[in-house]
Amino acid sequence: MTAIKVGIIIGSLAKASINRKLAGALEKLAPEGVSFSEIAIGNLPLYSYDYDADYPAEGRALKTAIEAADAILIVTPEYNRSIPGGLKNALDWASRPWGTNSFAGKPVAVIGTSPGAIGTAVAQAALRPVLGFLNVIQMNQTEVYLQFKPDLIGEDGAIANADTAKFLGDYLKAFHDFAIKHKG
């Protein structure tokens, strides 16, 4: 299997986020040759074009990490039927200044979990047009709207249910194949 570097952006800034736990569980399910690296977004100031002439270190680090990845996996919660403000802020930082969009042409997949019955379906629907404007290559199938239940992830950080683990493993295999087909 061809090796790829996947940058993971976790949409929640919370340390105990269920989406952070999901990202860790996905890493355990990754196909051979897929390496994950978290792209931190929590220290970014709020974006303003006032920064464009002198980008802060946090903004440069974000852009560098995205550019170094072969593909991006966004693991996001749903806040008020949309994406978290911190995630949107990171997308804005990565796409600026004008003409230096670090996401352009990058294979991207979106996944998330929420206690609600429809998982993060509405957040993902809100995120997709933003990603389209950023000119990413979106993996549109398979979609994952995962309802988080207390027994979803075991004490060891792995997906506890065998059927769910297989489904997510297949999702990651599909993302690997998609990323190989579309990477730089």
Q: What are 98-110's pLDDT values in tens digits?
A: 999 999 999 999 9
| pLDDT score recorded for residue 15 | 94
Low-confidence stretches of the chain (pLDDT beneath 50): none
**Gap between the Cα atoms of 166 and 145, Å rounded:** 15
Determine how many CB atoms are found less than 10 A away from the CB of residue 86: 20
**Gap between the Cα atoms of 109 and 136, Å rounded:** 10
Which parts of the chain are beta strand (E)? Answer: 4-10, 34-38, 71-75, 107-114, 137-138, 145-147
Closest CA to 85 of 44, 116, 121: 44
Classify burial at 180, counting beta carbons within 10 Å of its beta carbon; exposed 0-12, middle 13-18, buried 19 or more.
middle
SS3 60: helix
SS3 29: helix
- Which residue's entry shows tokens 């039927």? 81
Strand partners, 114: 147
Instruction: Specify the length of the chain in residues.
Output: 184
**Gap between the Cα atoms of 135 and 145, Å rounded:** 23
Classify burial at 108, counting beta carbons within 10 Å of its beta carbon; exposed 0-12, middle 13-18, buried 19 or more.
buried
CATH domain 4-44+58-182 topology: Rossmann fold (3.40.50)
| pLDDT score recorded for residue 183 | 83
